[in-house]
Chains A and B, each alone.
Chain A
Amino acid sequence: MTRPSDATPTSKPRSFIANNPSVLWFLLALALFTLGVTALSEATGSGVISTSFVKTLGKTLCLCLIAIAMDVVWGYCGILSLGHFAFFGIGGYAIGMWLMYARTQAIVVENLSASVIPPTPAELSDAIASQIFGVVGASEFPAIWAFSHSLVLQLAMVVLIPGLLALVFGWLAFRSRVTGVYLSILTQAMTLALALYLFQNDSGLRGNNGLSGLQNIPGFEQVPQAQISMAFFWASAVALGLGYVMFAWVLRGKFGNVIRAIRDDEARVRFLGYHVESYKLFIFTLTAIVAGIAGALYYPQAGIINPGEVAPIASIYLAVWVAIGGRGRLYGAVIGAALVSLLSSWFTGGGAPAINLGFYTIQWTDWWLVLLGFSFVAVTLFFPGGIGSLFDKLVRRSS
């Protein structure tokens, strides 16, 4: 791009990418990673990377997406939400309802096709319902499954329910000027309440059984999992790329300055004439929607969602990832989420060798959380910029 006059570069509006070189670098790295995995996967490449590991990587990309949302709400706007996994879980449940309904419907229709008299729609519906809700002793569709037959409507739910919940919750909390640790506690209470509700058998979402079989995509029964997992991996990568660009765009320029100013001195921003509550609500709701989308992409790869996923601890992990990766830097959140969640599955999955101290053997499945806890404390105390701040140092040295 050529600019006709470069006399006053600071006052001239420049293109978005030129002002945010990290966006370009991030997209480049993400594209290389995605192509690399594609070339090594079972479905489309040499097969070095197993299908189950492709799923793990795809899920990790979804976790990176919710991590950048968390970074925006916490690292940039200063709202330490400890409830964003609730929105992630809602997104997962919303898509899971359609996946379960459509797949069960296909099975039931096939089973009944052998019978002489074709089933009435009511019989069909009852048969599907008793298939899905048999485990919790129910045989009728609860009201919240009203739209589960429609992929489009359930996809709308992925966005609408987290968005509306965040809007109402945020409006109540921010309007009352609840801030700091009290707001964190309130968001914990929200996600705990949701988890407890979902654990009930009569919640209409199969209690602690959750929704399962989500890896089977209706209409694609003949397609092997290797290819389905690749498709979701790609979708997750695209979602992460788009989410990154969108947040970088939102936080560019004056809006980002106001958001950071709210984090640093909320009262002062008010006296500048900005309605702080509206800005917080905007950020809270937008990040909740992104969290919902991330969840909707995550759970078809995980195959199952249950209420434990929205337990308060999940949202606390999210804060830990962002803190270790580096608050206030979008790429920091991505690094933190990817590194810690992959390490976590390596340690807890028995991948890490146990350490024999003679008198005691360190089993990482038990000690990983202790290690993570120490890392979190160490980063917070000695390394507040997190891993992402290393890049800042590199950039500063090179310039």
Chain B
Amino acid sequence: MTTLLEISGVSVSFDGFKAINNLSFQIGEPELRAIIGPNGAGKTTFMDIVTGKTKPDQGRVLWGDKGISLIGLSESRISREGIGRKFQKPTVFEAQSVRDNLAMALRNPRGPFDVLFYRKNAGGAARIEKVAEQIGLSDALERTAGELSHGQKQWLEIGMLLAQEPRLLLVDEPAAGMTPAERQKTTDILVEAARTRAVVVVEHDMDFVRRLDCKVTVLNEGSVLAEGSLDHVTQNPEVIDVYLGR
């Protein structure tokens, strides 16, 4: 396992409030990692920094084998580098079909003229079918995304991430609002995806994290409080104090 993403000494504050405070940790490739922490611990801000939405005040965010800095790159550029992000609220393009949603996400040149002269082809169609199978939406390809259930929208968004073929997937609360059966399936999709790439899951739900069965990073007040297996971190008295005890 090699280091894919290295965050060191990153701090960012909004109006004097330190959302991230000297945060350092690394993600390997392939790896499945869960990030937990109480509200306001900086979980979403961490994702914002990695994906270019928020610029940190200080620190380094290094990416890939060559260790290029992600700070200052645009969101679209970072995405093309191989970082995919799933938002807390399912954000799919509701007016368009499931197929079109996946087609847009497919890894292909992204320039306006590349897209303007893009022709649908059998290879692309096959990739879409494969992703649809992974997320269990093979029968729903022609349906409008807005008609899908909440859980199916979440899967579609995960599917769009998979279609991008990223090296790192950042997934924000994928199980929120799902039924137990849907949660199980989501777990399977994420575990499967993490076989070949890095997957970082931010989640509140302890049962869900337990089922992921992976290394856990606990954030609190913008920095790492504990790191290790779930059993290890849940026995840490500080973690119990700030998070689990409440």
Contact = CB atoms under 8 A, between A and B. Distances in A.
Counting from the closest, the 9 A-B pairs by CB-CB distance are: A273-B79, A11-B125, A270-B75, A273-B80, A275-B76, A261-B93, A255-B116, A268-B91, A282-B112
B94 interface: yes
A366 interface: no
Contacts of B96: 257, 260-261
Chain B CB within 10 Å, residue with most, of A272, A275, A278: A272
Interface residues of A, number: 26
Nearest to A279: B112
B33 interface: no
A115 B101 CA distance: 75
Interface stretch (B102-110, B180-188, B220-228): B102-110
B79 A257 contact: no
A272 B79 contact: yes
A278 B111 contact: yes
Contact of A272 (B104, B116, B118, B121): B104
A8 B125 CA distance: 10
6 contacts: A254-B104, A257-B104, A271-B51, A271-B75, A272-B76, A273-B76
A261 B122 CA distance: 23
Contacts of A272: 76, 79, 104-105, 160, 164
B100 interface: yes
Contacts of B142: 10
Interface residues of B, number: 36
Nearest to B96: A257
Interface of A: 8, 10-11, 13, 250, 253-255, 257-258, 260-261, 264-265, 267-268, 270-276, 278-279, 282
A260 B110 contact: no
Contacts of B112: 255, 275, 278-279, 282
B95 interface: yes
Contacts of A13: 119-121
A265 B103 CA distance: 16
A186 to B, nearest CB: 22
A265 B91 contact: yes
Interface string B101-143: 0011100001110011011111001000000000000000110
A167 to B, nearest CB: 13
Given A271-B85, A273-B79, A250 B93 contact: no
B87 interface: yes
Nearest to A268: B91
Contact of B115 (A258, A264, A265): A258
B157 to A, nearest CB: 9
A10 B93 contact: no
B153 interface: no
A11 B104 contact: no
A257 B100 contact: yes
Contact of A265 (B80, B93, B110): B93
B99 interface: yes
Given A13-B120, A13-B121, A275 B103 contact: no
A11 B118 CA distance: 14
A389 B141 CA distance: 25
B74 interface: yes
Given A8-B125, A257-B96, 20 more contacts: A10-B99, A10-B141, A13-B119, A250-B116, A254-B103, A257-B93, A257-B104, A258-B104, A260-B93, A261-B93, A265-B91, A265-B93, A270-B74, A270-B75, A271-B51, A271-B75, A272-B164, A274-B115, A275-B110, A278-B112
Contacts of A271: 51, 75-76, 79, 84-85
Contacts of A255: 112, 115-116, 118
B78 to A, nearest CB: 8
A7 to B, nearest CB: 12
A271 B48 CA distance: 11
B130 to A, nearest CB: 13
A260 B119 CA distance: 18
Contacts of A257: 93, 96, 100, 103-104
Contacts of B116: 250, 255
B54 to A, nearest CB: 13
A268 B103 CA distance: 15
Contacts of A258: 104, 115
A254 B85 contact: no
A11 B102 CA distance: 13
Contacts of A253: 118-120
Contacts of A282: 112
Given A10-B99, A272-B79, A278-B112, A261 B121 contact: no
Contacts of B91: 265, 268
A257 B118 CA distance: 12
Nearest to A263: B95
A273 B93 CA distance: 15
B79 A261 contact: no
A298 B164 CA distance: 46
A254 to B, nearest CB: 5
Contacts of A254: 103-104, 115, 118, 120
B35 to A, nearest CB: 18
Contacts of A268: 87, 91, 93
Nearest to A11: B125
A3 B84 CA distance: 38
Contacts of B77: 275
B111 to A, nearest CB: 7
Given A253-B118, A254-B118, A264-B94, A276 B103 contact: no
Contacts of B94: 264
Pick from B116, B121, B122 the residue with the most CB of A within 10 Å.
B116
